Amino acid sequence: MTAPLLVCRGLTMRFGGLTALDALDLDVLPGEILGLIGPNGSGKTTFFNVVTGVYAATAGSAVFAGADLTRLTAQAIYRAGITRTFQRSRLALPLSIFDNLMIGNHRRLDHGLAFNLFRRVALKAQYESAVDEARTLLATFSVPLATRLFEPASAVTMIDRRRIEICRALISRPKLLLLDEPSAGMTHEETRELMDDILLVRGRMPGLGIILIEHEMNVIERVTDRCAVFNYGKRIAAGTYAEVAADRDVQQAYLGQE
């Protein structure tokens, strides 16, 4: 068996008296899509925020590709190769689609003052290869969208914004991608399209691990290899969709106690 990409042990996040994550154990393997399900407030997004360094864990550890990232800043975690999308789209709407992708491409661009201000020729070369790359990546999701690279992100539809957000997270070639409810607010048809895109990307980027927060059970059933169920900050079940769906604790969490 291959070594896991992300190993969380006893991961705990407390906000005052509220325990949002309670001694969570979770492994993610390279190349797999792990579905994260659970009722609202069960700690799924908090888990993402802790793993990406938005919050510092109260206790426990998260080890990514052999390196402990529990005490790292959000910036360092990004450089290590974890990127994410947000539950509510957090694109820079007044900026162009290209600019939004380049925000995600940060670690592969040169940010030196002298380089940016005085070496315009070298900057132009870097810029042009970035444009090509952005266009190619967008085109795997949507060919028409790729032609609109220099339009404001605010000018495109909701599903295209989601695609841009996913591309922003993918362009730096991460090892682990966290998708926080990418289908929120979209129709079934749009959700299916988006999930097809995600499966396509997975096929093209072998080794990329994906954690997907999702409420639609048919989506989870279709795209995930394994899933983990959260309730009150604890992982109450893990396994394939069929195993998890048959679990008594899971049924209780969703349907309530009899």
Partner 1 sequence: MGALRWGVGSVATVAVYAALFLYAEAQSVVIGLLVGAVVAMVMASRFDVLARVGESFARHERALDRLTFAACIAVAALFHDQHFVLLMLATVLLYFVACIGLNLQFGHTGVVNFAGAAFFGVGAYAAAVLSQHTPVPHLAIIVIAGAVAAVIGSVLIIPVLRTRGHYAAMVTIAFGVLFKTFLEVNDTLGGPQGLKLPGMSVFGIPFNANIALSDDAEISFYMHYVVLALLLAAGAYSLSRRIERSWIGLNLDAVRLDETACATFGIDVARWKIVAYTIGNALCGIAGAVYAMMTGFIAPNNFTFGDSLIMVSIILLGGVGNPRGVMIAAAVVLLLPEKLQMIQEYRFLLYAVLVMAVLLFRPEGLLPRRLRAYFPGGTS
Given the rule CB under 8 A, which residues bind partner 1?
Answer: 52-54, 73-75, 77-79, 83-84, 86, 90, 92-96, 99, 102-104, 106-107, 109-111, 113, 116-117, 120, 123-124, 127, 131, 150-152, 168, 172
Measured from the CB atom, the residue of 95 and 217 that comes closer to partner 1 is 95
Q: At what angle do helices 158-170 and 97-104 cross, to 10 degrees?
A: 30
Measured from the CB atom, the residue of 175 and 235 that comes closer to partner 1 is 175
Measured from the CB atom, the residue of 113 and 242 that comes closer to partner 1 is 113
Measured from the CB atom, the residue of 171 and 244 that comes closer to partner 1 is 171
Question: Cβ of residue 157: shortest distance to partner 1, in angstroms?
Answer: 19
Number of alpha carbons in the 13 Å side-chain half-sphere of residue 14? 7
Question: Cβ of residue 103: shortest distance to partner 1, in angstroms?
Answer: 5
Question: Cβ of residue 21: shortest distance to partner 1, in angstroms?
Answer: 18
Question: Cβ of residue 246: shortest distance to partner 1, in angstroms?
Answer: 36
